[in-house]
Amino acid sequence: MRLEALWLLAQMVLFQAPSGTDQGRLAETLLRSPDRVIQATLALHIGLANEGSGVVVGRRGDKWLALSAYHLFQGKTKEGHATFFTAGDPPKADKELMKLDVLESWPDIDLVLLSVEAPKLPISPLQLAPARSLPAKIRGTTHTSGCDKGFPTLRAELLGGKVLTTKNAGEIDAFYWEMADPSIPGRSGGPLVDCAGQLLGICSGTDRKGKGMYVHIDEIRAGLKRKGHTDLLTSR
C-alpha cells in the first residue's frame, strides 16, 4: 500500500474518534499544524522557471530568512525570486514574486541561507529540531513539503533505519537523513519535519541507492553557528 493511501486511512480512522490509547497513537502520526508548514514553504524561481523549494526559518527586519539546497543556485547568475502561499486546497499563491538573495552558502553539505523580501502574509517560521536527532528518537511519522506541483504539497514519509553518513565530491563527511523512498523532482530545498512541525532536514535529492536524502539538522545547526546565525538556533 502506498504512503498516500496509508495517510488517508489514518485520517479516516481518526475521524471515527477511537478512544484511549488507540487515539493517542493515531495522533502521533498526524502533523499538528499542516497550514503552518505550507505557509513556510516557498517556491523558488531562478530566472523564469520554478527551480525548487525553500522553507522560512526566521525573520530580520523586513526580510524572511529561508533555507534551501545549494545545488539549485550553483553556477547560476540569474536573479532569484520566491512565491509565498496561503493555506488552502490547493494552497493559493501570492500574486507578487518576492526578490531573494543568497546570504550564506555551504556547498559541502548542499545548503544555502536566503534573504527574502517579506510579503504581508501570516507566516510563522519553522523552529529547528534539537541537535543529535536520530530515527529511534522521533515519535510519529515525518513529513515533507515542497513545490513539485507549483504549490506546496505535504506527504507522510518514512525515515530509513539510520542516519546516512556520506562523502560528497569534496571528500567532506556529512550527515543526511536517508528516506524510504526517492525524492520527488521539484522538492529540492524543501523541509523534512516531525509531527510538531519542527525542521529536521532540507531535501538534497536522491542517493545512489534510490533513496531520498535530506541534510541532517546537526549539519544545519553547525553551519548556522559557524557563520554567526545563532538567533535561528533558539526556540521562538
Report the pLDDT value the prediction gives residue 171, as an integer from 0 to 100: 58
**Is residue 215's pLDDT more than 80?**
yes
Q: What is the DSSP letter of 128?
A: B
Both 37 and 15 in one domain: the answer is no
Cell of 228: 554567526
Both 21 and 80 in one domain: the answer is no
Number of domains in the chain: 2
Both 137 and 168 in one domain: the answer is yes
CATH of the domain at 185: 2.40.10.120
Residues 6+ apart with CB under 8 A from 197: 31, 32, 33, 36, 37, 126, 127
Between 219 and 96, residue with greater pLDDT: 219
Least confident range from 38-42, 71-75, 197-201: namely 71-75
Both 86 and 123 in one domain: the answer is yes
Helix axes 20-29, 3-14, angle to 10 degrees: 140
Both 19 and 44 in one domain: the answer is no
Both 15 and 112 in one domain: the answer is no
Least confident range from 57-66, 84-93, 129-138: namely 129-138
Beta bridge partner(s), residue 177: 163, 214
- Measured CA to CA, the distance from residue 11 to residue 223 in angstroms comes to 37
- Cα Rg of the chain (Å, integer): 17
DSSP per residue, 142-202: EEEEE-TTSS-EEEEE-EEEEEEEEE-TT--EEEEEEESSPPPTT-TT-EEE-TT--EEEE
Calculate the average pLDDT of the chain. Answer: 81
Both 204 and 151 in one domain: the answer is yes
Both 16 and 62 in one domain: the answer is no
Main-chain dihedrals φ then ψ at residue 109, nearest 5 degrees: -115, 5
Both 205 and 162 in one domain: the answer is yes
Domain residues for 13?
A: 3-30
Half-sphere exposure of 199 (CA within 13 A, CB side): 36
70-128 confidence digits (pLDDT tens): 999 887 767 789 999 998 888 999 888 899 999 999 998 999 999 998 878 788 999 99
